Amino acid sequence: MNPAAAASRRTASAALQTKDRILDAAEKLFSLYGFDAASVRMIAAAAKVNLAAINYHFQSKEALLLAVYERRVAPINARRVELLRSYLKGSVGRPLKSEPILEAFLRPAIEILDEAPHIPMLMVRTVYLQDRETFREIFDALFRPVSLEFFEALRLALPHLSGPQLFLRMQFFLGSFLQMMAARRAMEGLQGFPELPAPEEMMRQLIHYTAAGLRVRALESSK
């Protein structure tokens, strides 16, 4: 390799490392303090870069948040779709069950917890605690296509539920999952309460609990 090419590769590698440090710092600080309270200056200090580096790589704070999500969510969603389609392909001609569909959705997120422990709390903050148009646009772009694919699979597995009924129960499921993951550390070691199981076992129990609820006949409308 000629000296110019070697220097170019070193520069590209250094830029990638800088970008990853910024993303790691932003992911942690956004989850701990929220989007508004975690300033770009705080993120730069945690990443050990200057402000110009953040502006160079991400241009805006909103673009930085999107990049934080894209880095984690893209591989999770790709794995979700892979698992779901594999199950559907292997179940041709047989009734679908909700449990494998739920596991296809949960398992990729569980598997990344050790690598990205701050993502569940970040999602709670941006989904529930800080409502703004930018966050809705991010979630629409990153989560809607995959969520629709799972919604349609569950509709096939649960024909006794109407679309609105299934959508509501999916919100119960998603809320339970985020609570389980985001509050897990806070609930560990609470005096007087049993110890929580490992994430893998929590996932198994949540699937069992949710599948039972999905099978229940819908309530008549109170209107």
Q: What residues contact residue 48 under an 8 Å CB cut-off, 6+ apart?
A: 21
Based on the number of CB atoms within 10 Å of its own CB, is 157 exposed (0-12), middle (13-18) or buried (19 or more)? buried
What gap in Å lies between CA 79 and CA 107, rounded to an integer? Answer: 9
Angle formed at CA 81 by CA 105 and CA 217, multiple of 5 degrees: 45
pLDDT at 189: 63
pLDDT at 54: 95
pLDDT at 193: 81
What is the amino acid identity at position 135? F
74 with 53, same domain: the answer is no
> Which range marks the domain in which residue 151 is found?
60-215
**C-alpha 157, offset from chain centre:** 24
Q: If you search the block for the tokens 């110019």, which residue do you land on?
A: 4
Q: Give yes or no for a contact between 186 and 175, defined as CB atoms under 8 angstroms apart.
A: no
What gap in Å lies between CA 163 and CA 203, rounded to an integer? Answer: 25
78 with 47, same domain: the answer is no
pLDDT at 7: 42
Q: Give yes or no for a contact between 112 and 119, defined as CB atoms under 8 angstroms apart.
A: yes
72 with 160, same domain: the answer is yes
Terminal Cα distance for the chain, rounded: 75
Does the residue 220 lie in any domain?
A: no
Does the residue 24 lie in any domain?
A: yes
pLDDT at 3: 57
53 with 107, same domain: the answer is no
What gap in Å lies between CA 81 and CA 78, rounded to an integer? Answer: 5
Question: In CATH, what number is assigned to the domain containing residue 149?
Answer: 1.10.357.10
pTM for the model stands at 0.85
What is the amino acid identity at position 12? A
pLDDT at 192: 80
5 with 72, same domain: the answer is no
What gap in Å lies between CA 129 and CA 62, rounded to an integer? Answer: 16
Token pair of 73 as six digits: 């969510």
pLDDT at 42: 97
94 with 41, same domain: the answer is no
Q: Give yes or no for a contact between 183 and 121, defined as CB atoms under 8 angstroms apart.
A: no
The pLDDT tens digits along the chain (223 residues) read: 665 444 445 444 556 689 999 999 999 999 999 999 999 999 999 999 999 999 999 999 999 999 999 999 999 999 999 999 999 999 999 999 999 999 999 999 999 988 888 888 888 888 777 767 778 888 888 899 999 999 999 999 999 999 999 999 999 999 899 888 877 766 766 778 888 888 899 999 999 999 999 999 887 776 6
Count of all residues that appear for the chain in the document: 223
Q: What residues contact residue 98 under an 8 Å CB cut-off, 6+ apart?
A: 154, 157, 158, 210, 211, 214, 215
pLDDT at 137: 84
Q: Give yes or no for a contact between 58 and 22, defined as CB atoms under 8 angstroms apart.
A: yes
85 with 165, same domain: the answer is yes
Domain count, the chain: 2
73 with 52, same domain: the answer is no
Q: Give yes or no for a contact between 107 and 83, defined as CB atoms under 8 angstroms apart.
A: yes
